[in-house]
A and B are shown apart, each in its own frame.
Chain A
């Protein structure tokens, strides 16, 4: 047998080596390459740009200037903590309400006959096909002074409700309304991890409904609850339209501050610094939650 490298010209031998090296790359890497490249270009690159910009001086429109900490200093001296505080509060309270509201609905959908469950799912998903801003504007027209609700009540009873928007509860309502599906579907997935025979066994052994909920259903469904809660918390943290349309300036969220910095403020570095802080906040929440989750178990691959 003759060694190929001895008989082939040098360039062809190099090519052969290269092809061999490519063949040694596992198939999984090839399969993951498209999504890897997409994430690199669509997720990591913008993130790096945001971080770079956050260290640029005001009035800079390139991320490669002399770095400075002035944006972060400004954020701490110009009372941006108010916006962060409101965003955190709105995200926490909305997530808590979403959990309470979604749980019974998730249980009902799990227990419903397949056809009825499908109808319920379609009814919940359908609003997602309409743009968020349009749905929120619809609520404004419904809840505002002389709106559908106020007008109808006045016509029927002569009593004026007045405007039900321009307040914090209206903002929370908007967030809960918009993000309900994001809590509900992970919750349904979590409840799928609760085998009916386990609950039957507990019932046969004399467990009360509360004990079954607390000791069996909740721990087994916890991964779904946590994922739903995490998802809702993170996207509520960046909520913008709800405060804008339903709040009408009663509070300013951090997302509104970021938008203002990038548009009318034309202060890209400050907008980037605020964005970086929100990303850190959301990242910390994800990190803490993921420490409590066993994804393998959730996906049913635990040994």
Chain B
């Protein structure tokens, strides 16, 4: 199944999960829930990992694995079992931003890194065309996609090359992004119906900016009424300038510390954050602060409205793709790490054991993996409404006007002082 850029996901995922409803957990507990390919995928992952370990045990190769990744993969709960099973030494370095990592590879980082984990779009549009990452063995990795939740099956667009024939990486963590709100201060319904301007104008002086710079820019475009992921007209740039200045002028504070902002929402210091995502609210929710939630506006930008989806889409969904770097001195540990991450226990740890955030993984389509999550963890990830939130999102992509928009972003930020 192929996803259309704007609305393919919503229909697929919604159609599957709608039928599950409130009885989902009960079904899990009784073991009666099965998906078409799940058992195959989960069993295959375990078998493949055992086979991979056996292959590694007989070989002679570089035993250090250099991993450049977002935080889901860089921590001890994920890395320790891999190191224990293989004898490898993993050297993880957490990303600062996707563009920084891309340019790291471009400026010679391929000699350093073995595995790179980035948000989607960079792999098929830049890294593979520039020879910075390697395609995966389709026969080996394609069956692992059978575990995935609907909408992320093989061939998943962002994990494939432009021809659709080569797998450029494995997908795992994902999440919708819109705004975060303390629903005690403003109801989720108000924000859902009111859209971004309900916060930017309606709650002026009461919200914070979660300052992941590229995400602020992307959501400012959505708030301005157009997709950030295509070339923009002069009028659209002028509209973006107006909105980004308004966002900064009306914000109470600006911080890239999502934990600190979550605390501010809990204490009532701010009512919400722009932008905000399941990624940024899951940790406080896991601590029982379930009044903090990610909200994606109901009505989207005009260009996403279709006959099938008349409300369009207003948020942005990200999904991380983990790829093999074209390192001139490769190690089979890199491919082994990708296999390992698909075992049920590793998938669970990638999702729920990252520092300061819990995020769904596409492998939760496999009942064997989903059952590892407690109800508090699913609640933290807003699992029950995830389908709706994701359905309101367009896919993360590359912004062709990013440089000019970033200039305006920094200018708007400085204008606060």
State which of A120-128, A173-181, A260-268 sits at the interface with chain B. A260-268
User: With an 8 A cutoff between CB atoms, is B254 at the interface?
Assistant: yes
Assembled-state Cα–Cα distance A303/B110 (Å): 59
State which of A42-50, A189-197, A244-252 sits at the interface with chain B. A244-252
Report how many A-B pairs have Cβ atoms within 8 Å: 88
Is B267's CB under 8 angstroms from A146's CB?
Answer: yes
**Option from B107, B403, B415 in Cβ contact (under 8 Å) with A79:** B415
Q: Which residue of B lies closest to A58 (CB)?
A: B403
User: With an 8 A cutoff between CB atoms, is B190 at the interface?
Assistant: no
Which A residues from 106 to 140 make CB contacts under 8 A with B?
A: 140
Q: With both chains docked as a complex, state the minimum distance between the C-beta of B204 and any C-beta of chain A, in angstroms.
A: 15
Interface size class of B (residues with CB under 8 A): 35 or more
User: With an 8 A cutoff between CB atoms, is B99 at the interface?
Assistant: yes
Is A250's CB under 8 angstroms from B253's CB?
Answer: yes
Q: With both chains docked as a complex, state the minimum distance between the C-beta of B291 and any C-beta of chain A, in angstroms.
A: 15
Q: With both chains docked as a complex, state the minimum distance between the C-beta of B265 and any C-beta of chain A, in angstroms.
A: 11
User: With an 8 A cutoff between CB atoms, is B47 at the interface?
Assistant: no
Assembled-state Cα–Cα distance A79/B407 (Å): 10
Q: Mark B237-258 against chain A: 1 for CB-CB distance below 8 A, else 0.
A: 0000000000000011111110
Is B260's CB under 8 angstroms from A140's CB?
Answer: yes
**Option from A61, A140, A245, A263 in Cβ contact (under 8 Å) with B107:** A61
**Option from B103, B106, B209, B411 in Cβ contact (under 8 Å) with A249:** B209
Is A249's CB under 8 angstroms from B254's CB?
Answer: yes
The chain B residues found within 8 Å of chain A, CB to CB, are 96-97, 99-100, 103, 106-107, 208-209, 211-214, 251-257, 260, 263-264, 267-269, 403, 406-407, 410-411, 413-417
User: With an 8 A cutoff between CB atoms, is A12 at the interface?
Assistant: no
Q: Which residue of B lies closest to A150 (CB)?
A: B267
Question: In the complex, which residues of chain B have a beta carbon less than 8 angstroms from the beta carbon of A264?
Answer: 97, 99-100, 212-214, 406
**Option from A62, A248, A262 in Cβ contact (under 8 Å) with B255:** A248
Question: In the complex, which residues of chain A have a beta carbon less than 8 angstroms from the beta carbon of B268?
Answer: 145
Question: In the complex, which residues of chain B have a beta carbon less than 8 angstroms from the beta carbon of A260?
Answer: 213, 410
Q: Which residue of B lies closest to A59 (CB)?
A: B403
Is A252's CB under 8 angstroms from B417's CB?
Answer: yes
Is A265's CB under 8 angstroms from B413's CB?
Answer: no
Is B415's CB under 8 angstroms from A82's CB?
Answer: yes
**Option from B252, B254, B414 in Cβ contact (under 8 Å) with A257:** B414
Question: In the complex, which residues of chain A have a beta carbon less than 8 angstroms from the beta carbon of B214?
Answer: 264
Question: What 4 pairs between A and B have smallest CB-CB spacing?
Answer: A249-B254, A251-B417, A264-B213, A146-B267
Is A83's CB under 8 angstroms from B416's CB?
Answer: no
19 contacts between A and B (CB under 8 A): A61-B103, A74-B407, A78-B411, A140-B260, A144-B264, A145-B267, A146-B269, A163-B269, A248-B255, A250-B253, A251-B416, A252-B410, A252-B417, A263-B97, A263-B100, A263-B213, A264-B214, A265-B406, A266-B97
Q: With both chains docked as a complex, state the minimum distance between the C-beta of B123 and any C-beta of chain A, in angstroms.
A: 17
Question: In the complex, which residues of chain B have a beta carbon less than 8 angstroms from the beta carbon of A83?
Answer: 414, 417
Question: In the complex, which residues of chain A have a beta carbon less than 8 angstroms from the beta carbon of B263?
Answer: 144, 146
Q: With both chains docked as a complex, state the minimum distance between the C-beta of A52 and any C-beta of chain B, in angstroms.
A: 14
- Known contacts: A61-B107, A260-B213, A264-B406. The answer to whether A79 contacts B411 by CB under 8 A is yes
Is A266's CB under 8 angstroms from B253's CB?
Answer: no
